[in-house]
Structure 1
Amino acid sequence: MAQVLEFKLPDLGEGLTEAEIVRWLVSVGDVVAVDQPVVEVETAKAMVEVPCPYGGVVTARFGEEGSELPVGAPLLTVAVGATEPPAGDVVPDGPGGAVPDSSEGSGNVLVGYGTAAPPARRRRVRSGLTAGGAGQGAGPVFAGPGLADPAPSRTPGGLADPAPLRAPGGSAAAVRTPDAAVEVVAAGSGGPVPVISPIVRKLARDCGLDLREVVGSGPEGLILRTDVERAIAARTEVAAPAAEAPAPVAAPQGHRTPLRGIRGAVADKLSRSRREIPDATCWVDADATELMHARVAMNSATGPSAGPKISVLALLARICTAALARYPELNATVDTERREIVRLDEVHLGFAAQTARGLVVPVVRDAHARGAESLSAEFKRLTDAARDGTLTPGELTGGTFTLNNYGVFGVDGSTPIINHPEAAMLGVGRITPKPWVHEGELAVRQVVQLSLTFDHRVCDGGTAGGFLRFVADCVERPAVLLRTL
């Protein structure tokens, strides 16, 4: 007979602890192959398609689209060895109802989960522990390497309908699994109840909610955050009519957007930056006419000197890395715990990219070692990936300095918030024709406003002003860059 294997949400790296289900790619009853993507999730860093390391028939899915799951929570179960959907509950083979060892996995690894080694054996709890008054004394039952919960049964909707284990006498038995820090103790014992995370337990405690009054909707009666929020809301509705104090003013009605996923991560980072970094901004107008002429000459070259098209952003990035080589104080971060300024050797250049899912900052690795052509190609690759939602967490983290080209939105200037934990950000406004005094005469020139927002802990105004003036000089006279080649 087929064996049922449970696939849990793997560790997606970068310290991520949860993900939102955006779209299921398979349904209950579908046949999946090893390493086939089964669900698309959104983390605080990026959109990720999660592949399943098992091949077989999907027997259950856990979580609706739009819901959040913590790392380690079940995603789905797969009947391995089955070629068609099972007619009823799948009961594992083996003596005593034990599930035999699974076959070797695909060997592929998402951060934190590998399938090269077979999982530990799983067994059903023996019937002597589930019949009222049978078996040994009524005490906690712990699931260790050789003892686990029974496979969840299927419901018409495809989601699992877990039934909690029962100890003699019918009370809920305690279960402890090695990969999920969840405890379920016998009812009335005064111990902890099954909660998916400490955050949920704290939410209930802060609101004065007794978790023993909450019915969990998760696997094995696990109490989820939505269960606690629902119970708090229900209690508030019941208590409101009896309250003697005047009812609080109702919250403004309107469309509400949850701050989670990428949008939530951006909000948290910007808030932290504003709290921790004493920033200052200086700016200057520059005549970019010669820079634009140089770009036209580069892109119109023919013969052996011809090459890929160079973007304005790539030229500005090349100027930026040259300025950081001269003023390395701005390619740094502050270690607040040790009260040290850490000057970084490599320049990993972030750049702001607006997408349908919000603002993201992809990072060009080793920008200091790239020429204009390489920078142009990498900017295009990362921008396309950002718009498609396929950036990896590694491509969105690790920046040391950010280039913010807000001129693409048709604005001249800005005082942006530094991308924590970096120390500075160069802002570039739109390049537009303006009256300008050129060689002693009034002329129409291509003018751009440049701004530098910097952490005043890493340098003073003299260093920041020197950096910005060097950038402006390179914009006005691109030949200055020849000194850095």
Structure 2
Amino acid sequence: MAQVLEFKLPDLGEGLTEAEIVRWLVEVGDVVAIDQPVVEVETAKAMVEVPCPYGGVVTARFGEEGSELPVGAPLLTVAVGATEAPSASPEPSADEEPSAGSGSGNVLVGYGTGAPAARRRRIRPAGVGAAAPVAAAAPAPVAAVDPAPVRPAPVAVAVGEVNGRQGPVAVVSPLVRRLARQHEIDLRQLTGSGPDGLILRADVDSAIRRAGEAGSATEPEARTTAESVVAAAPTVHAGTAAPAAAERIPLRGVRGAVADKLSRSRSEIPDATCWVDADATELMAARAAMNAASGPSGGPKVSVLALLARICTAALARYPELNSTVDTAAREIVRLPGVHLGFAAQTERGLVVPVVRDAHTRNAESIGAEIARLTELARTGKLSPAQLTGGTFTLNNYGVFGVDGSTPIINHPEAAMLGVGRIMPKPWVHNGELAVRQVVQLSLTFDHRVCDGGTAGGFLRYVADCVEQPAVLLRTL
């Protein structure tokens, strides 16, 4: 006899308390296997495919794509032991547990195995009889759930029909879905211009323009909390165009997490920045020699970022004050035993900081390989929260954006960040003569609580010396 079990949004780890539903991977009526991914969610740190610990038939889904759910809120219900949509049956006993092999404790692959709850919520059938479809009863409301409740679809509906929507929406990109949500565009009303009717960003942009043109002609001006600003604006006379409405973008997901962390860093950390220009000509020559020695099939090339990362780990060994954090409650500086090196990476989802674990134990080639691996995961949105947290020092190569310098904001709760500008030919005095050299600006932002300017300056000068004379680094290898 099939048992209808409820699967809730699991703890995604690293202190995350909520997630946004990006894309459902199953429909009501689908048969799922144990640990099969059923939904793709976006947390403040990463995109995650959530596997279901039960095998059976999906009887209901909770939450529309684009809605946010807290950890512990229901995701879906599964009829365990059924291979097709279950018919009405008496409610199982409240003390009854799933049989062995019906579920998996591996609620989220990569985040540990959670112990099963002592009791599972059971879904009471709506009625008995062949003609009446079985509807999963809505679960008890969760206190943190703010979005409007979504009634689960009956089990007897066709596979392509969920919550009154006929067929799947031909959208692949989460960015396209988000853009449509922000502008209240119904994707079901669009005809995609991509292959097989795929809805592209250009289709959504066109719909936004059409909606804006229609709205300016027929809709009254919406009242907002910025009414005082509007009232102070010049009067619009007849025959003149009405001012465009300000666009409001919710601070959530990665953008919200970045905003919260940067705000906390600025409010809690008394930071200071020092910088120096360095002649990177010899470093670039050393890199070219390394890559030439490896030959055409000698493995991956060593990147400039990998060399700078290796220089940072050597500098942190000399100046461990900068590989620390501050326990504000205990009023203590906590020196950290190992270097977990974060590096800033810009992606379509925003700025993320993947972490190279135990960077102090790696050589430049190993660090470079790990940076390449994490960068590819970041590009495809597959970084896990564990790969984005736990850093002790951050390297920020903003030179890739074509800028020379910056004053980086420390990645809270770390104590320092090294910023690297672009490496470019500049006039430079070399061996007493003016020459064209490859020059880079290095900036160090540090927490003034963990050290004074002498320590920060010593760290930055050592980094610059290694950049100018890579042989200096050999003394620490």
TM-score by length of 2: 0.74
**Distance in structure 2 (CA, Å) of the matches to 1:283 and 1:98:** 66
Q: Does 1:217 align with 2:191?
A: no
Q: Distance in 1 between matches of 2:391 and 2:462?
A: 22
* Inter-partner Cα distance in structure 2 for 1:305 and 1:82: 53
User: Aligned match of 1:383 in 375, 379, 386?
Assistant: 375
Select between 100-109 and 330-339 the one with higher mean Cα deviation. 100-109
Structure 1: state its 5+ residue gaps: 123-147, 165-181, 183-193, 201-214, 221-245
For 2:97, which of 82, 101, 104 is the aligned residue?
Answer: 101
Distance 2:123 2:66 in 1: 27
**TM-superposed deviation, 1:120:** 2.7
Partner of 1:10: 10
**Alignment partner of 2:346: what SS?**
strand
Q: Distance in 2 between matches of 1:92 and 1:309?
A: 65
Query: Aligned equivalents of 1:84 and 1:98: distance in 2?
Result: 24
2:284 matched residue in structure 1? 292
Cα pair 1:93 1:99 within 8 Å, conserved: no
SS at match of 2:293: coil
Note the alpha carbon deviations across 1:105-126, whole angstroms, 9 max, x for none: 234243888577585366xxxx
**1:193-232 to 2 correspondence within 5 Å?**
196-197=143-144, 217=149
- AA matched with 2:419: G
Mapped to 1, the partners of 2:296 and 2:83 lie a distance apart of: 59
Q: Does 1:464 pair with 2:456?
A: yes
| Structure 1 residues 286-435: aligned runs within 5 Å | 286-302=278-294, 306-435=298-427
1:308 positional shift: 3.1
Percent same amino acid among aligned pairs? 78
CA contact (8 A) 1:406 1:430 kept: yes
Shift of 1:92: 4.2
1:350-400 per-residue CA deviation (whole Å, 9 max, x = no partner) reads 000000000000111111110011001000001001111111111111111
Aligned partner letter, 1:430 = R
Mapped partners of 2:227, 2:250: distance in 1: 25
- 8 A contact 2:91–2:124 mirrored in 1: no
Q: What is residue 55 of structure 2 aligned with on the other side?
A: 55
Helix, strand or coil at the partner of 1:295: helix
Structure with higher RCO (Cα < 8 A, 6+ apart): 2
Give 1:31 deviation, angstroms: 1.2
- Aligned 8 A contact 1:60 1:159 in 2: no
Q: CA deviation at 1:249?
A: 5.0
Partner of 1:150: 124
| Contact preservation (8 Å) 1:3, 1:92 | no
SS at match of 2:264: helix
Q: Is the 8 A contact 1:413 1:449 kept in 2?
A: yes
1:150 maps to a residue whose letter is R
Question: Paired residue for 1:42?
Answer: 42
How many residue pairs align between the two structures? 385
> Deviations for 1:292-349, whole angstroms, at most 9, x for unmatched residues?
0000000001579955310100000011111111111111111100111111110110
Partner Cα separation in structure 2 for residue 327 and residue 401 of structure 1: 12
Q: Which amino acid aligns with 2:143?
A: I
2:4–2:80 Cα contact (<8 Å) kept: yes
SS at structure 2 position matched to 1:283: strand
Q: 1:17 to 1:464 in 2, by over 3 A?
A: same
Task: Show structure 2 runs of 5+ residues with no match.
Answer: 128-132, 153-225, 232-243
Check 1:383–1:163 CA distance in 2 against 1; reply closer, same or farther (3 A cut): closer
For residue 270 of structure 1, give the secondary structure of its aligned residue in structure 2.
Answer: helix
Name the counterpart of 1:233: none
Rg: which structure is higher? 1
Taking the aligned partners of 1:368 and 1:113, their CA distance within structure 2 comes to 26
- Give the TM-score of the pair, scaled to structure 1: 0.73
Shift of 1:40: 0.3
Q: How big is the shift at 1:263?
A: 1.4
Conserved in 1, the CA contact under 8 Å of 2:18 and 2:70? yes
Shift of 1:268: 0.4
- Mapped contact 1:160–1:219 kept (Cα < 8 A): no
Q: 1:67 to 1:443 in 2, by over 3 A?
A: same
Q: Give the 3-state SS of the residue equivalent to 1:300 in structure 2.
A: helix
SS at match of 2:249: coil
1:257-285 CA-to-partner distances (Å, cap 9, x unmatched) read 21111211111000000000111111110
